[in-house]
């Protein structure tokens, strides 16, 4: 019974963590509906209920660039099917490596906030909800740490190894759990310009029960095209969405500034 409870707890944590990497969402102090036409959106995602055309949510991404055209921030809004604002996320890539941005997420529908504040060597993870007080922990950064949508930059850094059929391991900071966990990523195949990747939690026996997240990227531009799996978006019952997200790009993918540049 104890072992079964442990596995069930692990499954719950794994479902949350697998989605922490690609699904954006957070910012403090924003309220009310948002007009999605007020910003210039570079990427729009439509999350469908798997196997159907039922829309679960929309996500809108705006990249913030420096004077040289490199990404220094990102602003993301998540909307319900009726286009009511659900949550907001903001990312700051200027304080550390582009795969470890600081970020804050505010889910106005459910009523909670999480985030990561990064320095050169460590990160402060925090969480807060309408029913609980602020909780936080500080963790050291490693060379393979990934924070939230910093996964995009991590993908670009690891792309050559993925194309050589290497499996890439990395650590993810999960502020909702105030902890970090190990994941693995591999490229399964390429077809007609699309690269098919798979991401899984490196945690036995949980990885036997959790379906890996499936990702599709444009092989030439390395832009994400599709995400299939558990997400970190929660409904009013605090249940996580499992979604099939299709991304539409409105222009070129702005570059990240890596240390060598």
Lowest mean pLDDT among 34-38, 43-47, 101-105: 34-38
Furthest-apart CA atoms within the chain: distance in Å: 59
In a domain, 190, yes or no: yes
In a domain, 90, yes or no: yes
In a domain, 128, yes or no: yes
Q: Rounded mean pLDDT of 8-27? A: 44
Confidence of residue 31 (pLDDT cuts 50, 70, 90): very low
In a domain, 71, yes or no: yes
- Residue 222: C-alpha distances to residues 9, 29, 50, 148, 201 (Å): 35, 33, 24, 18, 22
pTM tops 0.85: no
- Distance, in Å, from the CA atom of 239 to the CA atom of 235, rounded to the nearest integer, reads 6
In a domain, 259, yes or no: no
Tell me which of 39 and 116 has the higher pLDDT: 116
Of the candidates 237, 180, 240, 189, the one whose C-alpha atom is nearest the C-alpha of residue 216 is 189
Confidence of residue 202 (pLDDT cuts 50, 70, 90): confident
In a domain, 200, yes or no: yes
In a domain, 210, yes or no: yes
In a domain, 258, yes or no: no
What domain range includes position 182? 2-249
What total number of domains does the chain contain? 1
């Amino acid at each position: 019974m104890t072992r079964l409870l442990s596995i069930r707890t692990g499954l719950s944590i794994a479902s949350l963590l697998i989605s922490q990497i690609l699904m954006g969402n957070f910012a403090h102090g924003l309220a009310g509906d948002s007009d999605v036409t007020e910003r210039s959106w570079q990427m729009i995602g439509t999350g469908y209920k798997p196997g159907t055309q039922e829309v679960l949510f929309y996500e809108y991404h705006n990249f913030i660039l420096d004077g040289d055209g490199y990404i220094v921030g990102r602003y993301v809004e998540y909307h319900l099917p009726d286009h009511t604002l659900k949550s907001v996320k903001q990312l700051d890539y200027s304080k550390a490596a582009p795969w470890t941005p600081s970020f804050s997420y505010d889910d106005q529908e459910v009523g909670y906030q999480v985030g990561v504040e990064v320095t050169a060597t460590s990160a402060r993870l925090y969480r807060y909800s309408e029913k609980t007080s602020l909780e936080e922990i500080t963790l050291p950064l490693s060379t393979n740490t990934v924070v939230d949508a910093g996964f995009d930059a991590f993908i670009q850094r690891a792309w050559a190894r993925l194309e050589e059929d290497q499996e890439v391991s990395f650590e993810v900071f999960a502020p909702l759990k105030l902890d970090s966990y190990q994941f693995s990523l591999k490229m399964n195949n390429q077809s007609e310009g699309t690269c098919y990747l798979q991401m899984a939690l490196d945690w036995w026996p949980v990885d036997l029960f959790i379906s890996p997240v499936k990702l599709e990227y444009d092989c030439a531009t390395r832009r994400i095209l599709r995400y299939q799996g558990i997400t970190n978006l929660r409904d009013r019952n605090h249940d996580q969405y499992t979604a099939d997200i299709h991304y539409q790009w409105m222009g070129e993918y702005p570059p990240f500034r890596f240390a060598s540049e």
